[in-house]
Amino acid sequence: MKSATPNALGIVQPQIFTFAHDQPFVMEGGATLSPVTLVYETYGQLNADRSNAVLICHALSGSAHAAGLDIAGHAGWWDDCVGPGKAFDTDRFFVICSNVLGSCYGSSGPTSINPATGQPYGLHFPVVTIGDMVAAQVKLIDHLGIDQLLALAGGSMGGMQVLEWAARHSARVRAAIPLATTARSSPMLIAFSEVGRQAIYADPNWQDGDYYGTGRRPDAGLAVARMIGHITYLSDQSMHSKFGRRLQSRERFGYDFVTEFEVESYLKYNGLRFTQRFDANSYLYVTKALDYFDLSSPAGSNGNGANSLAAAFAHAQHIRFLVVSFTSDWLYPSYHSKELVSALTAAGADVTYLDIESSWGHDAFLLEVDTMTRLLGSFMDRLAREEGVI
């Protein structure tokens, strides 16, 4: 067994899977897409009976690069938890992570070339739902020859994908680990999404989404959207301990409109940095997918929760769930996870639930590394033993 050093996986090459060349991929909203590309990475080896596959689902701004190093030497977004000897131990499990549909890290999205025009899709790319993201992942898993995933794990939007798999592709799932997420986006979540989108729409460089190749990009709007997002990922408490009322490189107030508190500087820096790595149209698509997500309503309906959440998991009795929420997460508050746990229990599933005491807000699922390592590691270890995965 290799030791768990940060770069034990070494450089990981992204892989490309393209499907729906002949038969177009039909989206939840009725539009079709052809072809469809997913970029994905894998870590570890698929075993002989193909029973050790774990799909990691990324959050809003994530990519397929979950672990190891990319060609530029950057560690994956969940490198803390994926690798030899880590929670998702790549000496035992075959771990897969694919970039979601609608994103901008290689999978089909608004930055992709529309074969009908030879130009980037922009807003002509069809609106994507969590259901569409997962339906594309199902094609990838088919392609990899995997009948059933040993486990799925993800936080935030990644957790929504985990729940979508468990509800609508139950037979393909043995265990599901939704972290810091919800089965039904709240109006507050929709509100923050929409304000982020409005910040992008308000940027004249957005040009109704047709900014590719114009030399003008809606970076200012995207940066504001990201700053709003960052506030929601933190908590009142974590902002107190991280920044307090400290000034950035100043002893006294400047009485001007130059950024002066550390928290302002943090937001500005992260807003700017985001524009160097993310696409504004993709931000629109991915946040829209969040907003639509509601397992308690029939797909596409007006979201009045006509179905009970338990009904959504009627075929999930065989799935083992590990549901995790964080006490200071006000974007996906714990009561969402508690409602989910009630529904899963009512549906007859085997559920372990933890509401973890943390001051880190929504970001806790990525920041509480020791707790997550212990928790996910022991869940995966027990699962592997009971399923006879060696």
Query: Any idea which residues carry the catalytic annotation?
Result: 156, 329, 362
Give phi and psi for 259, each to the nearest 5: -55, 125
**Smaller CB separation from a second copy, 52 or 275:** 275
Q: Which two tokens stand for residue 292?
A: 């639509």
* The amino acid at 308: S
Bond prior to 187 in cis (omega within 30° of 0): no
Q: Applying CB under 8 A, does 363 fall inside the site for a second copy?
A: no
For tokens 């107030």, the residue is 253
User: Residue 75: enclosing H or E segment and its boundaries?
Assistant: none
Confirm if 64 and 96 have CB atoms less than 8 A apart.
no
Binding positions for a second copy, 90-109, rule CB under 8 A:
none
Could you say which of 213, 304, 370, 388 contacts a second copy (CB under 8 A)? 304
Q: With contacts defined by CB under 8 A, name the span among 73-81, 83-91, 232-240, 381-389 that binds a second copy.
A: 232-240
Q: Which two tokens stand for residue 94?
A: 């075959």
* The amino acid at 154: G
> Do the strands 15-19 and 36-43 form a parallel or antiparallel pair, or are they unpaired?
antiparallel
Binding positions for a second copy, 309-338, rule CB under 8 A:
330, 333
Binding positions for a second copy, 259-288, rule CB under 8 A:
259, 261, 263-264, 267-268, 271, 284, 288
Q: With contacts defined by CB under 8 A, name the span among 32-40, 94-102, 143-151, 235-243 that binds a second copy.
A: 235-243
Site map 138..177 versus a second copy, x via CB under 8 A:
----------------------------------------
Give phi and psi for 352, each to the nearest 5: -110, 130
Three-state secondary structure call for residue 9? coil
| CA–CA separation, 380 and 341 (whole Å) | 19
The site for a second copy (CB under 8 A) is made up of 27-31, 123, 126-127, 184-188, 190-192, 194-195, 197-199, 202-204, 220-221, 223-224, 227-228, 231, 234, 236, 239-240, 242-247, 250-253, 255-257, 259, 261, 263-264, 267-268, 271, 284, 288, 291-292, 294, 297, 300-305, 330, 333
